[in-house]
Structures are given as C-alpha cells and as structure tokens.
Structure 1
C-alpha cells in the first residue's frame, strides 16, 4: 500500500428526500460499494442526509407565519440528524469495518443548541469510525437562512489521512477567503467542497481553490429530481408545481494542485466516481507557491480563528 496514494469516491446521488432512515440506508449501501471499489475516502454532498431544502426556491418560503411553510419545515426538521442520540452510529461502525474515511453532509438538529434549530453540517468520520469534526456551516446562503442557523468555528479542522491532510467546507462558504485560509494554515492539502448539486457552482471555484492553495480540490454534489420526493412529503403537489424535472444536476469534479482538471464536472449522472490521487503532486506545486508557508508574510498579515463551540448558555453547577 502506497502511503502517498489515496483513492477517493465521490458519491453523486439524490437523497430519499427528508427521509432519514431511507437515506441512511442509501448512504450505507454506497459506502459498501465504494469500499468494494478500493476507496479509502468516500464523500457525500451538502446536506445529503436527509436532503437539501429544495422547496425554498419554488414556493413562497419567506411568507410570514405561513401554515404551509411551517408544516414543511416541521417535517424537514423531524428528519434531521441528532448526533448525540446516535443517529450516525451505523455509519461510524461501517467506516470502522471497512477502514474507510467519510465526509458526510448532514442537516443537524443539535441538542447543544436546544434541539430545535437546524444547521448545515459537514461531518468527518475517520477509518476507525470516530467522528473527528462536526463543522456547522458558518453562513447559510440567501434563502437557506430561512431554515438553517449560522454555525461557528469549532469544525474548522483538518485530519491526517495517509500522506494527506484533509479539510472541508460547505457550498458557498468555500467562497469565504478567511475560512479557506484557516484550513490552509492548519496544513490542508486535500480540500473537500460539498454542494447540493449544480455544475454552475463547481465549474469555476474548484480550479480556483486548487490554484490558490496548491492542493487537490474535490467538489462533490448531489442530484435532485421531481421523482426523488417521497409521496408522503407534506404539500408535495404544491412543491412540485413549479419544480423543474431536474433542479440538482450534480457537477462533482476534481482539480489537481496545478489547477488543472483531473475529473471535469459530471452532470446528470448518478453513481460513484473513483479517482486515485498522488501526494507528490502537492509537493511539486508548493515549490513555487505556498500560501501559508514561503509565500506568506505573518509579520504583516495574520488570521485569528475562534474555534470555541458557541452555545446560548454556560452551565456552572455547584
């Protein structure tokens, strides 16, 4: 086994929308499939478990005190993940059994924030089955703010994986220069960017981040079609009324440390994409540019990062 080579699985599939148990099973099936294909790291899209809030863009989601919107949200929230209650235990066990690392996009309803608000979260599970980071999206984008809460810096962490150091961000927070810099400064050389599903999101930024960081950049997107909404979805006819046949077309791709495509964005294709990366390519490209190393000026420019997990209360028991 070559420690400098890492085989990656990009899982580009739709969720069983807002159905936690069915989407968990789907994730387990794809992890098993990826492991059979020799993958050492498997990555799912943003909010894959149990799905992105697609209804926002096709309904009057900002209507105040609207009964329909409340009922859709309540259904969506009821299917969100509560890590503290063991919702990811089966995924963790599978990671351990297969000795495979996992980046999994989830909709989290954390008990440490009261257990009712939702966060767009990227979870890293190591090959021993241990959760090593739970990164809550720093800033939900546009209509996402109607259902997701802003996260904190606690999950801005990187992880060793063979010769690589991996880190990840959710969707448009990949456009946040300081969030990227925080991961670069921690030694990241394999950047994971997860998306709900659109070539327009991945076709430019993937190569840009690769060129900026001189790292491998993996963008993983989901798919979403009308047929991916279960029949028991509240107000389904209303949601589908203005829903195109395909709203999430994928766009998963990989750029190398020189900013060139290893895997160009793949649209409208469901399945698992497999690639093997060679760490030496990182060292080659850092020869002339390293954004936090020899091409930085910490005496002039520095970034401070607050990684304290934020909470509304601080308990002090006597």
Structure 2
C-alpha cells in the first residue's frame, strides 16, 4: 500500500502536559467487498498512523469490507431477484464475525503499537442467527480489547434492504488519555437523543463515521462540536468505482461510472465549532491532529448540555443498553 498523504491543521494546538491527544482519521477506500484484503489495508493504515505518533485512528462506516453501493445502482428493491440474492450472499460471506477472530490482526496491532481504533464494519452477528449484517462501529482500545460494538440503530433508506436494525448495547464511551470518546454511525449522528446518550456519559470527543461525502459532514460536524462543546471527528470512506473487481450482476456497468461513489469529506471541528481541519474531498488521506482538552474545559464554561445547563428534574433520557435477541435460552 502506498503511504497516504498526511494532512494536518494549518494552526496546531499546543496543549499543556496531560491535556493532549493525537488522533488520525483514515480516509481510505476498501478493497471493495473483500474482507481479507480490506483488513490488510486497514492494518497498514493503523501502522502508518502509529508511525506518525497518533494514539487513536478512526475509519469510515462499513469500511470493512465496504458500503453496499450496488443497491441503488442495480435495482436493489426488486423482489425475489436472483441478481440481488447473489449480491447479498456475497456481502454476507464477506461480513465480519467478531467471535471467529476476524478483527484479530487489527487487535494485535492496537496492542503492539498502543493505538486505539474506531472501525466501521459490516458485522455478521451469530447472536442474531448469523445471516443478517449490521453496520457496526467497533472500539478497540490500546490493549487490543474490543470494548464496544455499536450496531447502527436505524439503517438509512436503501440500507434497509441489506442491513438489520441495531440496539443500544454499544452506546458507550471510553476513556482515552484526557478525553472520553464515543461514536455513532452516519445518519444516527443526526439523532439528538443518541447524541445525548453519549453526552450524558461524559463524552467530550465525538467520532462520527460515514460512507463518504462532504454533503454529510460539512454541515453537521460543527453542530455536534458546538452542541457538545467537544471535539467532533467525522471520518469518511472513499470509493472509485473503477476499482471494482467483482464478477457479480451489474458490476461491470457500475465500474463504468465517471462519478465517485464516495468522495471522503473527513474533517475535525473544535469545541467552539470552528474547523481544525475542514472537509478533505476526492482522495484518500490520513488526517492527523493533536487535540487540547483545555479547549473543551474552556467551552464548557457557559454551556454544558448534561451538566450545569441541564434540568434532569424536567427532562431525562432513558437508554436501553441490553443486547437484543430473538431467542432467550435458559438451560
């Protein structure tokens, strides 16, 4: 893999001792719908990020093994279509099964290089029968342990043809240096209550993962940062259809498109809502920035949505974090 272009803020922050955290956003393309090859590419990017002194690296929604771009381009809503069944069967076959160790290579890297990873993937979940995929955002800590696997609460539009609905089990935050990090998938970042579930657990570093496109990240990222008085990281994928190498119905026609399927749009906004790195479009890149927790504390002075500016006696959010299952076995 060719080393990624590195993009850093024009004006870097200078945190005092104990207040800094260096993060990376891996805006990369998958080896589309090839789990093993995409895992290798993710691993190479983790290594590249670690070589540049980062303590956390994040990747876009469903990156492993890729977003289902075929659905809207091959009549994905046709009922009982042999073509669509062929696509789905391949997608399912390439899904990530955490329990069989599909993330082991990345976990080992996280442990060996002491780097945390937020990774968007298509999870093939044995606890839901093993034949449905979920858009899952996994958090792997600096010891290589998977600390949460958040299944997207509500697939968006055509995604509902190939993804299942998730649950609240992964609505969790994680301590990382001076920060408390949490993350959401794509359009669920628009859900005020999902964001509030993370704010209420102390989140001050928000990771939003997207399939790719500045139309998603440019408007919302500063809003999340300003609302949460937190750093907001939006990380997207990239996809050039000319790289498609699949023998599936309509794949050759998709490859002829002159339009990128995913344009990137990764960016970082500070807790004042201002850009640290504005959206980076139309190419693969590694965005690297050092964040200053002192900036969070300064912005919480006049607004803290779950602290001094909240009224829990009037407004409260109740969150069900139980992992949902169709069958409850009792032996």
Residue 75 of structure 1 contacts residue 234 of structure 1 at CA under 8 Å; is this kept in 2?
Answer: no
Q: Which position in structure 1 is the counterpart of 2:155?
A: 140
Deviation at 1:3, TM superposition (A): 2.6
Equivalent residue for 1:58, pick from 55, 73, 76: 73
Aligned CA distance change for structure 1 residues 79 and 115 (closer, same or farther; 3 Å): same
Paired position in structure 2 for 1:209:
224
Give the equivalent residue in structure 2 for 1:279. Answer: 293
Alignment-derived partner of residue 298 in structure 1: 312
Cα-to-partner distance string for 1:59-117 (whole Å, 9 max, x where unaligned)? 21000000101101111111000001110011101100000000000000010001000
Identify the residue that residue 68 of structure 1 maps to in structure 2.
Answer: 83
Q: Which runs of 5+ in 2 are unaligned?
A: 1-15
SS at 2:70's partner residue?
helix
CA-based RMSD = 1.1
Matched, 1:252 2:248: no
Deviation, structure 1 residue 234: 5.0
The match for 1:122 is 137
SS at the partner of 1:316? coil
Separation of aligned partners in 1, 2:81 and 2:215? 32
SS in 2 for 1:54: coil
Q: TM-score, normalised by structure 1?
A: 0.97
Supply the distance in 2 between the matched residues of 1:176 and 1:228 (Cα, whole angstroms): 34
Give 4+ residue runs of structure 1 displaced > 3 Å after superposition: 231-235, 238-241
2:57 is the alignment partner of 1:30: no
The CA deviation at 1:46 is 0.3
**Displacement after TM superposition at 1:269 (Å):** 2.2
Q: How many residues align?
A: 316
Q: Which residue in the other structure is 1:265 paired with?
A: 279
TM-score (norm 2): 0.94
- Which residue of structure 2 aligns with residue 315 of structure 1? 329
SS at match of 1:169: strand
Cα deviation digits, residues 94-144 of structure 1 (max 9, x gap): 100000000000000010001000000000000000000000000000000
SS at match of 1:246: coil
Correspondence for 1:173 among 188, 192, 196: 188
Tell me how far apart the structure 1 counterparts of residues 264 and 281 of structure 2 sit (CA, whole Å): 5
Q: Contact 2:242/2:255 (CA < 8 Å) preserved in 1?
A: no
Alignment match, 1:239: 254
1-structure distance, mates of 2:177, 2:213:
30
> What are structure 1's unaligned runs of at least 5 residues?
none
